[in-house]
Structure formats: C-alpha cells, structure tokens
Structure 1
C-alpha cells in the first residue's frame, strides 16, 4: 500500500547510502543524479508519525565531501 509523505522530499538519486534505525527513521546520504550531480546532503524520513515526514537535519563542523557509491 503506498504511503504519502510530506516535508522536503530529497531529489531523485542513485548510488546513495541509506540506513534505518529500528523502522522509525530512514536516513539517506549522498548519491548522484542523472545529470552527474553528486550530493553531500542528508535527508531523514520520520516514520514514527502517522503521516511520515521528510526533513533535513542541520549539519555543522567538518562536513564530508559529496560522494556516491560509497559504504
């Protein structure tokens, strides 16, 4: 069954890394789009809510360079 989400949906990408923490959040980092743009952003899908929402956490300090196809 499809689930509608709200918030700031990340741009389409491939070769990104995503992880989940006990089915409450999906965290997406990096990746590349079909134009060759490489991302260094982080997006979080909060699935603990009745209506899942995407958001981008604030990032500070030494931010990793943009990357794709990484582990």
Structure 2
C-alpha cells in the first residue's frame, strides 16, 4: 500500500519533468520497505519451527528395508 502511495505522491509532471513531492515519495517508499522488513522478521520463527519438525527422523530402520 505504501509503495502505491509513493507512486502517486512522486508524480512527475510530463511537461516539466519535475517531481511534485520527492520527499513524500521517499518517505512512503521507506515506510513500504520497513513493512516488508517487519513481515520478513515475523516469518522467521515460523520457518525455523517447520525446519525442526522435519529434522526429527522417525525411529526405525532405513526406508525400504
């Protein structure tokens, strides 16, 4: 959502080539990047938990024996 706002805020005038609000575009892009970072950090424990469950092998012989 923040990246969409960034695109709207950082509108470039086709006649002059000037960015209307470069600071606003940069701030909303930063907010979007921080949101992606927070999402990635929140997914780390879930990924680690899944890996631990797969690492535990069932007791018994080798497969196919």
Q: TM-score, normalised by structure 2?
A: 0.23
Q: TM-score, normalised by structure 1?
A: 0.22
- Which structure is higher in strand share? 1
Larger-Rg structure: 2
